[in-house]
Amino acid sequence: MSLVVVGSVALDSVETPVGRRDDILGGAASFFSVTASLLTKVSLVGVVGDDFPEAHVTLFREKGVDLTGLMRAPGKTFRWAGRYSADFATRTTLDTQLNVFADWRPTLPPSYRAAEYVFLANIHPTLQGRVLDEIARPKFVAMDTMNYWIEGTPVELRDTLKRVDALIINEEEARMLAGATNLLEAARGIRTLGPRILVVKRGEYGAVLFTEDDTFALPAYPLARVVDPTGAGDSFAGGFMGEIARRGASDADALRSAVAMGTVTGSFSVEDFGLDRVRTLGANELFSRRRALATLVRIPEL
């Protein structure tokens, strides 16, 4: 068994300065699994309604994503609608319909329980913990969370944080979680809560990795054209965890390599609506942009 992801599968309606799309495949687990599938075998845990288009199922299958854990419940699929400002700087949520996602309690198929790598996308921290209860001996567990849980379920969140190796989180939420403005101070604070590894996502400004012994920072890959930032963070996480699973390691070099890979997959993700860019992505393009990223930050000798 390889990489299990648990999280939302959604139908998104998105308006960006470039255009709009209705009811396209979205949700953290979708972005994560399609991205990570470029690097490793992914098993998805999620829920959709009886309106979920077969075309999306086909896409997952084409990417080799194991859908044994994708429950189909009576009712409608989780729907989200949002609009980005002209400079992409702010996003307004226009509509959220949890639908079948509201009462979903993730359960792992028996075939998933030997998973070595686990990503708990942004859902209720207690549900994240339940998933961990069902996995026998994971080698590496990472999670995401958001302001909603940081403020609303701090006790439950702390319980789950104690059980993961890595937290992958937005910069603003890292500061909120730690109650600290300075990022090094926030990282220290968060690492005392449990995760030995913190990855801070900074959107167009890149990402930073903090461990006991290492700090690693990368700028984002510069893009001539951004189309839709939705799912960039989950595509980052997909590249990150995919690389950890591909290497079968989480030492310092593996973690750095994972951040670089996440930077690359995140950059592809925003180049088209939803998963339109990532779904057509070849491994050659992935590794080529990764080389370009290494060139981007190459500091010459003195």
List contacts with a second copy (CB under 8 A).
86-88, 181-185, 202, 204-206, 208, 215-220, 222-226, 253, 256-257, 260, 287, 290, 293-294, 296-300, 302
Q: Are strands 42-48 and 66-72 parallel, antiparallel or unpaired?
A: parallel
Q: Are 88 and 17 in contact (CB under 8 A)?
A: yes
* CA atoms of 65 and 29, how far apart (whole Å): 11
Supply the minimum distance, in Å, between the C-beta of residue 35 and a second copy.
17
45 bridge partner residues: 6, 69
Specify the residue, 106 or 266, whose C-beta has the smaller distance to a second copy. Answer: 266
Specify the residue, 60 or 268, whose C-beta has the smaller distance to a second copy. Answer: 268
Specify the residue, 55 or 302, whose C-beta has the smaller distance to a second copy. Answer: 302
Specify the residue, 85 or 111, whose C-beta has the smaller distance to a second copy. Answer: 85
Specify the residue, 72 or 256, whose C-beta has the smaller distance to a second copy. Answer: 256
For the record, the structure tokens of 216 come out as 């690693």
Supply the minimum distance, in Å, between the C-beta of residue 296 and a second copy.
5
Among 238, 240, 222, 226, residue whose Cα is nearest residue 273: 226
Largest CA distance in the chain: 64
Helix then strand then coil, % of the chain, to nearest 5: 40, 25, 35
Reduce the DSSP state of residue 170 to 3 states and report it. Answer: strand
Specify the residue, 74 or 300, whose C-beta has the smaller distance to a second copy. Answer: 300
* CA atoms of 31 and 13, how far apart (whole Å): 15
For 147, 199, 216, the CA distances from 183, given in Å and listed in that order, are 17, 11, 13
Burial of 217 (C-beta count, 10 Å sphere; 0-12/13-18/19+)? middle
DSSP class of residue 220 equals: P
Specify the residue, 50 or 185, whose C-beta has the smaller distance to a second copy. Answer: 185
